[in-house]
């Protein structure tokens, strides 16, 4: 198996010590404490609700995904974890295979709408090799899923990395427009290229979301709100920050496969539900669908 992280031995990795952060969830504004803990080889990524009786555990795999709009959530019985994609992207981007993620509420901290705060917490913890071969899923055939005008295709890659190409199309928006970006998941690249790219919404969507009870506490400093002239009371970290955030989401969502991925993915306007469908399609093509 090839290793998708340059200069990292093809072994599983976890963190050296616990590390965490506090914040408020985007959806409800509920205060939450999230802590990362080391985990044994082959554990994968597991979320734990410490505020519920018995501290139920939910593996972050496609089998536990529950239907949600505009986010990725997992659940088992009465335990739910909302909006895991930014945490999953941070873990994947740093090449961490095994980690226990403890939370005392149902929703991850929103922070600034990116993965940056989670990356910083994981860096404070340190990363260590576990000297057990990494589980890497190599894409060996072309697999495409479609939904409306969106599409997502996985195919064999050209090298020893996870490659991602994303086309974002907001042709009717004067500032966002169409954005295309390529990315390869080598050591350090996620931190440099994607981790600080933030969630974005259009000004026209804000009132609708608040009417649905989502993000009523959020301000223009908590994420990117695009008006006709650009971000409102905020500034871009990258000229094409929206497409980079969409790529961050894809990386987090595809980790629902349960391991690293080696291959190339081409996305056109893909969102969370289609990202999850690609994971299901990859498993179905291999005969391992749950």
pTM, to two decimals: 0.93
pLDDT at 4: 38
Say which residue the tokens 């990859």 belong to: 282
For residue 231, give the 3-state DSSP assignment. strand
How confident is the model over 131-176, as pLDDT tens digits?
999 999 999 999 999 999 999 999 999 877 899 999 999 988 889 9
Active-site residue numbers? 272
How confident is the model over 91-137, as pLDDT tens digits?
999 999 999 999 999 999 999 999 999 999 999 999 999 999 999 99
For residue 132, give the 3-state DSSP assignment. strand
First to last CA, the chain: 23
Which whole-number Å values give the CA distances from 259 to 173, 209, 264, in the listed order? Answer: 37, 33, 15
How confident is the model over 206-265, as pLDDT tens digits?
777 676 666 667 776 778 889 989 999 999 999 999 999 999 999 999 999 999 999 999
Question: What is the set of domains in the chain, with CATH numbers?
Answer: 11-133 (3.30.230.20), 136-286 (3.30.1700.10)
Contacts 24+ apart (CB under 8 A), 230-238: 230/175, 232/203, 237/196, 237/197, 237/198, 238/197
Contact 263, 138 (CB under 8 A): yes
pLDDT at 204: 83
Which whole-number Å values give the CA distances from 118 to 53, 150, 184, 212, 231, in the listed order? Answer: 26, 29, 20, 27, 24
Residues contacting residue 231 through CB under 8 Å, at least 6 positions apart: 220, 224, 225
Residues in the chain: 290
d(CA 98, CA 100): 7
Q: Quote the radius of gyration of the chain (alpha carbons, Å).
A: 18
> Which of 227, 225, 219, 224 has its CA nearest to residue 175?
227
Say which residue the tokens 């090799």 belong to: 129
d(CA 135, CA 222): 36
């Amino acid at each position: 198996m090839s290793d998708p992280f340059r200069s990292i031995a093809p072994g599983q990795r976890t963190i050296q010590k616990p590390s965490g952060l506090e914040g408020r969830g985007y959806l409800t504004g509920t205060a939450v404490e999230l802590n990362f803990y080391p985990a044994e080889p082959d554990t994968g990524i597991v979320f734990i609700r410490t505020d519920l009786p018995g501290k139920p555990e939910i593996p972050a795999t496609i089998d536990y995904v529950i239907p949600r709009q505009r986010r990725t959530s997992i659940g088992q019985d009465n335990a739910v974890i909302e909006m895991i994609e930014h945490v999953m992207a941070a873990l994947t981007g740093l090449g961490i295979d095994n980690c226990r993620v403890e939370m005392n509420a149902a929703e991850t901290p929103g922070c600034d709408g990116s993965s940056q705060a989670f990356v910083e917490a994981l860096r404070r913890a340190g990363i260590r090799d576990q000297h057990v071969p990494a589980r890497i899923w190599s894409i060996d055939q072309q697999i495409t899923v479609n939904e409306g005008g969106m599409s997502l295709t996985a195919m064999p890659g050209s090298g020893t990395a996870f490659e991602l190409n994303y086309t974002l199309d907001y042709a009717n928006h004067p500032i966002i427009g169409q954005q295309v970006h390529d990315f390869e998941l080598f050591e350090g690249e996620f931190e440099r290229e994607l981790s600080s790219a933030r969630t974005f919404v259009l000004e026209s969507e804000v009132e609708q979301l608040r009417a649905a009870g989502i993000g009523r506490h959020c301000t223009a400093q908590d994420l990117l709100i695009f008006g006709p002239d650009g971000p409102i009371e905020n500034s871009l970290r990258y000229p094409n920050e929206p497409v980079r955030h969409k790529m961050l989401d894809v990386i987090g969502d595809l980790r629902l496969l349960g391991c690293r991925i080696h291959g190339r993915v081409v996305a056109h306007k893909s969102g969370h539900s289609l990202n999850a469908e690609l994971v299901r399609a990859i498993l179905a093509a291999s005969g391992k669908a749950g």
